[in-house]
């Protein structure tokens, strides 16, 4: 089988169920009966599901363990190029640098690490991640994760400064954008945040000029079909526009997002994607190749991180 690339995987949503049970027991916590995502639950409720897994991962030791297990599991899922992401500021058991170092130790060179800022959070947090990443080669990129809401004090373009700094330093940039929301977010992410990759981007085809921008800049779209069904963007995986994207020349790749919470492995996500009406073996091969080409390590090798 062709080795897969997995570019969009959240550490705090991709624990092994056995590890969740073990850590919960050790910490005297009850595993919630409805721990996992379910179809159509919406983004806000999906995001709330991270509270429990995060509560198990406050200390560096658990971060390190889970990072290592994710690398092992990805390998078993046929993944040869892996990037893992998380928001270290949500792990309060040590300072951000210690939490990041714990993740890097667990990864042990088997994956690139992406540091996430969060929608609504002061952009200074992300600025801090960029500064930290300068001295840690294993950190390949920054991301903006979560989702926007009207009550938040910051808008997407308020995060331009840390993203610009990341660009100047040759660091990768990806943004969770247009996850069932306006395609305009993709434009802001690409034009103002200099994102080379977009997480989700489900509404891409709603605006021809945004599609043209993505094609022109060669932006990679990290498609997460099962996750999109859980957040209610699509009714079923088969509704995902992935085959149309690929046919139009969009550099889309297939990602699991959260292997635990969505109860899906990278291999399983590829199988589901291959069954979307309109998908062909050639388009699948292209999606996999897009993943390899869009990884930050390969962008770095090709000198395209600054693009
Ligand atoms: Zn995500």
- Amino acid 306: pLDDT: 53
How far away, in angstroms, is 221 Cα from ligand 1 center?
12
- Amino acid 305: pLDDT: 57
β-bridge mates for residue 61, sequence order:
none
Report the distance separating Cα 195 and Cα 172, nearest Å: 8
- Provide φ and ψ at 46, rounded to 5°: -60, -45
Report the distance separating Cα 5 and Cα 25, nearest Å: 34
- Amino acid 304: pLDDT: 65
Q: What is the DSSP pairing of strand 220-223 with strand 197-200?
A: parallel
The C-alpha angle 131, 136, 140, rounded to 5 degrees, equals 85
Q: Is 72 a catalytic residue?
A: no
Extended strands (E) in the chain? 4-6, 79-86, 112-118, 139-145, 172-177, 197-200, 220-223, 251-254
Report the distance separating Cα 101 and Cα 47, nearest Å: 25
How far away, in angstroms, is 230 Cα from ligand 1 center?
12
What average pLDDT values come out for the chain (307 residues) when binned by 10 residues? 94 98 97 95 93 98 98 95 98 98 97 98 98 96 96 96 97 97 98 98 98 98 98 98 98 98 98 98 98 88 61
Report the distance separating Cα 17 and Cα 14, nearest Å: 9
The pTM (predicted TM-score) of the whole model is 0.97
All domains in the chain, ordered by first residue: 4-301 (3.20.20.140)
How far away, in angstroms, is 302 Cα from ligand 1 center?
25
Q: One of 179, 185, 222, 269 is an active-site residue; which one? A: 179
How far away, in angstroms, is 43 Cα from ligand 1 center?
11
Helix (H) or strand (E) holding 281: helix 281-294
The C-alpha angle 15, 20, 24, rounded to 5 degrees, equals 150
How far away, in angstroms, is 9 Cα from ligand 1 center?
7
């Amino acid at each position: 089988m062709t080795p897969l690339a997995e570019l969009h995987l959240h550490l705090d949503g991709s624990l092994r169920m056995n590890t969740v049970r073990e850590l919960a027991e050790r910490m005297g916590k009850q595993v919630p009966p409805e721990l996992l995502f379910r179809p159509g639950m919406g983004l806000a409720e999906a995001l709330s599901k991270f509270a429990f897994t995060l509560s198990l991962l406050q200390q560096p030791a658990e971060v390190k363990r889970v990072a290592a297990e994710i690398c092992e599991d990805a390998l078993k899922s046929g993944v040869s190029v892996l990037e893992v992401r998380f928001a270290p500021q949500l792990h309060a058991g040590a300072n951000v640098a210690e939490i990041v170092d714990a993740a890097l130790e667990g990864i042990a060179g088997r994956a690139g690490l992406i540091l996430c800022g969060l929608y609504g959070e002061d952009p200074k947090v992300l600025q801090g991640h960029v500064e930290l990443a300068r001295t840690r080669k294993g950190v390949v990129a920054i991301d903006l994760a979560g989702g926007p809401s009207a009550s938040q004090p910051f808008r997407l373009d308020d995060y331009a400064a840390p993203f610009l700094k990341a660009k100047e330093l040759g660091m990768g940039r990806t943004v969770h954008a247009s996850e069932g929301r306006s395609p305009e977010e993709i434009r802001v992410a690409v034009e103002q945040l200099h994102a080379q990759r977009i997480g989700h981007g489900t509404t891409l085809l709603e605006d021809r000029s945004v599609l043209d921008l993505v094609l022109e800049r060669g932006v990679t779209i990290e498609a997460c079909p099962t996750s999109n069904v859980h957040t209610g963007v699509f009714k079923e995986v088969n509704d995902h526009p992935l085959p149309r994207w690929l046919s139009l020349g969009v550099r889309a790749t297939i990602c699991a997002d959260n292997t635990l919470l969505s109860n899906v492995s990278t291999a399983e996500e590829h199988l589901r994607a291959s069954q979307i009406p309109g998908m062909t073996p050639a388009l699948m091969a292209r999606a996999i190749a897009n993943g390899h080409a869009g990884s930050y390590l390969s962008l770095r090798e090709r000198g395209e991180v600054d693009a």
